[in-house]
Every structure is written in structure tokens, then in C-alpha cells.
Structure 1
Amino acid sequence: MPYITAADGAQIHYRDWGTGQPVVFSHGWPLSGNAWDTEMKLVADNGFRAIAHDRRGHGLSEQTWSGNDMDTYAADLAALIETLDLHDVILVGHSTGGGEVVRYAARHGAGRVSKIVTAGAVPPVMVQSESNPEGLPIDVFDGIRAGVLADRSQFYQDLSAAFFGTNREGSTISQGARDEFWRQGMLVGLKAAYDCVKAFSETDFTEDLKALTVPMLVAHGDDDQIVPIADAAEKTVTLVPTATLKVYPGAPHGIAGPYQEAFDADLLAFIRS
């Protein structure tokens, strides 16, 4: 299996499909690079090189005790891109991965990144504060941490309903999709799963977003119950002059079903443009 070595020696697993301009995918919490399988095949089938890594502590990557923070995640992504000597890179990030690619592009990606795509991404910042009164209260994230510690297997099963919107009338998302969410979640080390909650909820990406100058597609479902669109995508596009907002009516946080079909078509059109 292919691995690269991060700056602190951590082993980061990745998959590399196809040839052509590289499209690098970053996954959400508590998933792995496998969450992007459909999109990886799509872009590889259409003449691009698709690469997805498992964030440290997730999937098949090393379960490190330290480094479960956004700065290190971005540095790990930099190590992947530099080790593979990738240029003219298109970054694609979902949820936590959206924050990861934004921080990477702002702090490490000069001269390497050509486009950015985010979907249901966490920037600018999720947690409520005096400067971000529209954010979610810290109690929400404390509850996630408590659920992870108490019984993460049941917690991930329950969370999958809001993640995919199966608690909404008319949802067509399968039990199999929810089971796959649980399966990937159970591969995450407990320390990484716990620490990553702080990383995705409390990291402020405002200055990172302001530093972006490449074309950016900001995709978001308007029924996202995990990362509300009003405090995320709608703010992001006001900070990035090169960004275009694409709203998917009724779509949830998880990329599946009709949302996935529409997003994949837009993704392919954007990376080809």
C-alpha cells in the first residue's frame, strides 16, 4: 500500500488513480479517503489523476497521539503533494477536508494550486463566539465529543441520519450508505476522532480564505444539518472574490443520492473549465 511520511514521521496512506492533471481529495470527519471513491473514479475516467489520502488517525493512516489539528493536517497534505511532486493541482475538500484544503492552499500551495472545490465545508469558522454569533454553540461540539467517548459505534450510527438527511421526509438515501459511514468512522482512532472535533469546529479560516486567489467552487446543500450553509458557504464567498457559490436545494451534508449526482456533474464541469 502506498504511504508518504509526514514531517513528524507519521505514515499517511493514499490512493492514486489515473493519469493527467492531479485532483487531490480531502475527506470529512469521521471518514477516510474512501468517501471519495465515486468522484475519484469519475475524474480518473475523464483524464485526470485522482489522489485521496486518509487523514492521520483515520482510515489506514497512522494513529498518532499528537498532530490532530488543522495546521498539521494541512502540513500532511503538503507533504503528500510535495512527495508526489504534484503541480497545477485541483483541490477538493468535503466538510473538515474543505478546511484542510483551504489552509493548505493559503499556507503551502503557492505555485501548485490551480483550482479549489469545497462541499459542505467548515470555513470560515463553525463555533459560536462574540465575533461569530451565528455559529453553533460550543455545547453542540461538546456533545459530539461526549458521544465519541461514550459509545462511538452507536453515535456514528445515529449521526448518519442527520449527515445524510434520512431524518427528512422523502429521503432516498440507503441503509447501505449509512452503514458505510459507520464503517469508515469505526476505523478512526479514538484520540483522532476526539481531537478532530476541535480542529473542525474551532479553527478560524477567515484569513486563509482572504488569501485565496485561484478559482473556487463552493458547493453546499441548503438542508445541511451538520454545517449550516448560512454560517459557512454563504460567508466563504464574501471572503473569496474568485469563489462561486452553488447551492443544492434540499441537499444534506453527506454527498450521496441526487445531491451526489448533481455535485459530480458540477465538479467535472468545473475542473474541465
Structure 2
Amino acid sequence: MPTITTSDGVEIFYKDWGTGQPIVFSHGWPLSSDDWDNQMLFFLQHGYRVIAHDRRGHGRSAQVADGHDMNHYADDLLAVVTHLDLNDVIHVGHSCGGGEVTRYLARHGEDRASKAALISAVPPLMVQTDANPDGQPKAVFDDLQAQLAANRSEFFRAVPSGPFYNFDRGGIAPSEALIENWWRQAMMGSAKAHYDEIVAWSQTDFTDDLKKITIPTLVMHSTDDQVVPYAAAGPKSAALLKNGTLKTYRGFPHGMPTTHADTINADLLSFLKS
């Protein structure tokens, strides 16, 4: 398997297909690079080089005990970009991966980057604070950790069966194949990584990071996102970016890159060619 070893000794698995301008995909919690299968095949067929890695503690990467925070995630992404000597990179992040991309660009600069897309992404801040009244109470995320610790397998069936894909909404037929694939990816990873990462994606404040980003950035978010509520995320992120564009969807779930891949892929391609 293609892997790199980070400066703190963590083995990171990655996929690297094709030639052309590179697109680097950062996946969401608690999944793996496999969650980008549709996008990687689509953009490969459109002449791009597509790269995706499994975050530390996820998928086929090392199940280390520590480093499950946004700074380490950003540094691991830098390690992949540097190892492959990528330039003119388009960064695409979904959910927690959108936080990873945001922190990476702010922490390590844009010299190797050209554009970015944040899909259903967690920035600027998910948890409710005095400065962020639209966020969700910390108790919501504490409860997620408790459910994971009590029975991770059962919890990882409930999330895709319900709010992740909006399969708990009336009139939406659940796809058992999507639910099982989500569960498969999640169970490949480390319970410790998944537990710690809930804190990382819910309590990290990306406000200042977003302000530092100058490359064209497409923010894609649905008003029906049950995992990262629209009002506290997409519009606020787009407003904080110097060169941000908000694309709003209606009726799409948090996992819209999977359930509505044709639309998301087409809109992404249009942005990349603009």
C-alpha cells in the first residue's frame, strides 16, 4: 500500500491516481478516503490527478493514540502534499475534512494551492458559545462521545441510517448499501481517534483561519444538513473568506457528495474551470 511516514512517526495511507492538475480530497469523520470514490473516478475521467489520504487513526492509516486534532491533521496533509511534490493544488474537504483544509491553508500557506472547496464543512465553529449563539450546545457533542464509547458499532449504524444521509426524513428511501459502506469505513478506524475527533471538529474555532485564506474557495452547503446546520456554517464561512463563493442547496443531506454526486461533481467541475 502507498504510505508516507510523518515527522512524528505516523504512517499515512494515500491513493494517487492519474496525471494533470492535482485535486486533494480530505474526508469527513469517521470515514476514510473511500468516501471520495465517486469524486475521484469522476475527476480522473476529466483529466485531473486525484489524491486522497486516510486521516491518522482512520481507514488504513496507523491507529495512533495521539494527535487527533486539527493542527496534526493539517500537518499530515502537508506531509502528503510535500511527499508527492504537488503544486497548483485544488483542495476539497467534506465535513471535518473541510476543517482540515481550512487549518492547512491558514497554517501552512497557499504557495502550493490554487483553489479550495468546503463541502458541508464544520467551519467556522460548531459548538455554541457567547460569540457563537447559533452553534450547538456542548452537551450535544458530549452525548455523541458517550454513544460512541458505549457501543461504537451500533452508533455507527445509527448515524448513516438517520441524520448523515437524511434517511430519517419522510419520503426519503434509505439505501442499505450506503449505510453499510459508511459503517464499513467507520469501523476500520480507531475508536480513540473517532472519540477525540468529535472534540476536534466541534470545538475548533476556524474564524481566524478563514480570514487568512485568499485563494478562490467554493463553500457548498445544504439548508437541510442535520449534522452541520447551515445557518452556523456555510454562510458564515463564505462571509469570512476573502474570495469565497457560497453555493446553497435545498433538500440535500450532510452526505450530499454521496447521495447527490452528479450535482456536486458538476458544480465542482464548473468552479474548477471558472
1:34-49 matched pairs, under 5 angstroms: 34-49=34-49
Aligned length: 273
Q: Is the 8 A contact 2:65 2:192 kept in 1?
A: yes
Q: Tell me the equivalent position of 1:180.
A: 181
Could you say which residue in structure 2 is the equivalent of 1:74? 74
User: TM-score, normalised to structure 1's length?
Assistant: 0.98
| Partner Cα distance (1:6, 1:36) in 2 | 23
Q: Which runs of 5+ in 1 are unaligned?
A: none
Rounded to whole Å, the distance in 1 between the matches of 2:244 and 2:180 is: 34
Equivalent residue runs for 1:107-256 within 5 Å: 107-160=107-160, 161-255=162-256
Give distance in 1, aligned partners of 2:82 and 2:218: 24
Aligned-residue offset at 1:272:
2.2
8 Å CA contact 1:164, 1:256 repeated in 2:
no
Q: How does 1:251-262 map to 2 (within 5 A)?
A: 251-255=252-256, 259-262=260-263
Write the letter of the residue equivalent to 1:179.
E
Cα gap change, 1:163/1:258 in structure 2, threshold over 3 Å: closer, same or farther? closer
Instruction: Classify 1:87/1:249 alpha carbon distance in 2 versus 1 (closer, same or farther; 3 Å).
Output: same
Structure 1 segments, 4+ long, off by >3 Å, are none
- 1:12 alignment partner, SS class: strand
Counterpart amino acid of residue 121 in structure 1: A
Matching residue's letter, 1:184: Q
- Bigger mean CA deviation after superposition, 17-26 or 100-109: 100-109
- What's the TM-score, normalizing by structure 2? 0.97
Equivalent in the alignment of 2:14: 14
Maintained 8 Å contact 2:257/2:264: no
**CA separation in 2, counterparts of 1:240 and 1:12?**
30
Secondary structure at the counterpart of residue 126 of structure 2: coil
Counterpart for residue 272 of structure 1:
273
Match of 2:182, SS state, is helix
Question: Structure 1's 248 and 259: CA in aligned 2 closer, same or farther, altered over 3 A?
Answer: farther
Whether contact under 8 Å (1:32, 1:58) holds in the other structure is yes
Q: Write the distance in 2 (CA, Å) between the matches of 1:250 and 1:14.
A: 32
How far apart in 2 are the matches of 1:138 and 1:35?
A: 27
* Percentage of matched positions with identical amino acids: 51
Which structure 2 residue ranges, 5 or more long, are not aligned? none
What's 1:99 paired with? 99
Counterpart CA distance in 1 for 2:90 and 2:82 is 14
Summarize the Cα distance change of 1:217–1:173 in structure 2 as closer, same or farther, 3 Å threshold: farther
Partner of 1:53: 53
Q: In structure 2, what residue type is equivalent to 1:112? A: R
- Does 1:33 pair with 2:24? no
Contact 1:173–1:256 at 8 Å: present in 2 too? no
2-structure distance, mates of 1:8, 1:258:
36
Greater CA deviation, 138-147 or 252-261?
Answer: 252-261
Change (3 A) 1:256 1:85: closer
Query: How much does 1:174 deviate?
Result: 1.2
Distance 2:121 2:180 in 1: 22
Task: Identify if the C-alpha distance between structure 1 residues 67 and 84 changes in structure 2 by more than 3 Å, giving closer, same or farther.
Answer: same
Distance 2:77 2:49 in 1: 16
Partner of 2:256: helix, strand, or coil? coil
Mapped partners of 1:126, 1:258: distance in 2: 23
